[in-house]
Amino acid sequence: MTHPLKAALGSRLYRKLLAIRLTGQAGDGMLQSALATFVLFSPERQASASAIAAAFAILALPYSLIGPFTGVLLDRWRRQRVLLWGNLLRALSMIPVIYFTAHGDSGVGLGVSVLAAIGINRFVLAGLSAAVPLTVPEPSLTTANAIAPTAGTMAAAIAAFLGVGLRQALGGGDTGSVIVLCLTAGVFVIAGLLATRVHRTEFGPLPGEHAQTARQVLRGLSDGAHQLWHRHPARNAIAMVSAQRIAIGAGTVIAVLLLRLHLNPPDATDKALNELAVMLAAAAAGALLGAITTPVMSRRLGPIRWTSTSYLVAGVGAWFGVAAASVVSLILAGLVIGFAGQVSKVCGDTLVQEWIDEGNRGRVFALYDVAVNVALVSGVVFVAVLDPQAVNAGLTAAAIGIGMIVSALLYLRTRLP
């Protein structure tokens, strides 16, 4: 029997779909890096928790608000056309973003423009996911679903780092951000053109697929929420992943403010940005470590005890990392929070898949997506309200650490039969 990985990557159609995803998400990474450097790491603009909160809300909330309803249209439209025209529209949506950036305007106009671009992106990502079952044999579907988002996330991260490096090579400043955004538009065009290599019917929907109405989607979400509430292992697993996303949101804001306002001179924005990049790389390394160790440790300890253990480590590490207020300690905090995040996500996804019926699984994962994005923004808002200039970062970090430790202890009370 063919190995699932070999079968997935051996599919010509799947490889074409993967090429569209990798290119499009590389554009996402470049867009995010350009916006982050423009809004938060430009000498002309003072970083603040409120600016970071607004940026996170723009980047995360469209996924929550639009996500559950994308299937309504994706079951009616040719997905190949969605990938073609969606990416081309994203390229066009860069025009106002480039305009506002070139004029140094980080206000409402830029926010609305970015919101439109990311709203289109929601349809593109959903279309990519919906097309996967038509590109690989059924036994390889789980493997194909694991490869695509992981590879896409890596492509976005690598492109973000390249975008930051390119901006600095061009002298930094708003001009560098504008050039990166122009290149981003070109990457989106390439992603759209890659979709032309596929016939318009190959990605579905199939003739017999039934398209839901918006009302049916809402009713389905209600049914999924009802079952989720009564399936404690799945419900508590999503709560734990959400708790970690709160910590990520809050920790990211504190790290940005410390690096931008306290650990570096106000005009040393490039140095602060490089240090933040190292911290985010540490978080990615922690996530990789979590992905490697979780299959073994969850079998030995069980998913609940292993997740709780990772949270206890992350709670202590996050408090120490911020309280010590040094670049090295922040890197440590990023490492342990990234590790706990991957542990909880892998274990949480597994518990949801095991405890939620097939008929409600898609609905519950839609709610799951909403929960983690809202949690991420909530963590950012928490810091923006409590400590907008990271003056009392140690106390704020202590609150985050205590929250993770308490979450771990409460989670240990969850019982599996």
Domain boundaries, position 5: 1-212
Q: What is the pLDDT of residue 62?
A: 67
Residues 12 and 37 in one domain: yes
> Do residue 193 and residue 226 come from a single domain?
no
Look at residues 212, 227, 255 and tell me which one is the last residue of a structural domain.
212
Predicted pLDDT of residue 214: 66
Distance CA 204, CA 132 (A): 10
pLDDT at 20: 97
Q: Which of 212, 235, 263 is the last residue of a domain?
A: 212
Same domain, 307 and 379: yes
Taking the C-alpha atoms of residue 108 and residue 360, their distance in angstroms, rounded to an integer, is 38
Say whether both 131 and 241 belong to one domain. no
Token pair of 293, please?
A: 């160790």
Is residue 315 domain-shared with residue 338, that is, in the same domain?
yes
Q: How far apart are CA 106 and CA 90, in angstroms?
A: 19
**CATH number, position 312:** 1.20.1250.20
135 half-sphere exposure, CB direction, 13 A CA radius: 28
| pLDDT of the residue at 83 | 94
- Among residues 182, 212, 242, the one where a domain terminates is 212
Q: Which two three-digit tokens encode residue 322? A: 């911020």
Positions in the chain whose pLDDT score sits under 50? none
DSSP 262: I
pLDDT of amino acid 208: 59
Q: What is the pLDDT of residue 131?
A: 83
User: Which pLDDT belongs to residue 393?
Assistant: 77
What is the token pair recorded at 158? 């690598």
Domain count, the chain: 2
**pLDDT attached to residue 373:** 82
| Same-domain pairing of 405 and 349 | yes
Query: Do residues 83 and 160 both lie within one domain?
Result: yes
Q: What pLDDT sits at residue 310?
A: 95
**What confidence score (pLDDT) does residue 195 get?**
96
**Domain identity same for 205 and 279:** no
**Confidence at residue 90, expressed as pLDDT on a 0 to 100 scale:** 94
**Burial class for 61, CB neighbours closer than 10 Å (0-12, 13-18, 19+):** middle
Q: Residues 311, 256: contact at Cβ < 8 Å?
A: no
SS (H, E, C) 78-141: CHHHHHHHHHHHHHHHHHHHHHHHHCCCCCHHHHHHHHHHHHHHHHHHHHHHHHHHHCCCHHHH
Same domain, 238 and 336: yes
Q: Are residues 287 and 393 in the same domain?
A: yes
Residue 350 is predicted with a pLDDT of 81
The predicted pLDDT at position 25 comes to: 93
pLDDT of residue 198: 95
Q: Are residues 289 and 410 in the same domain?
A: yes
- In percent, the amount of the chain with pLDDT more than 90 equals 26
Do 221 and 134 fall into the same domain?
A: no
Q: According to the model, what pLDDT value does residue 21 have? A: 94
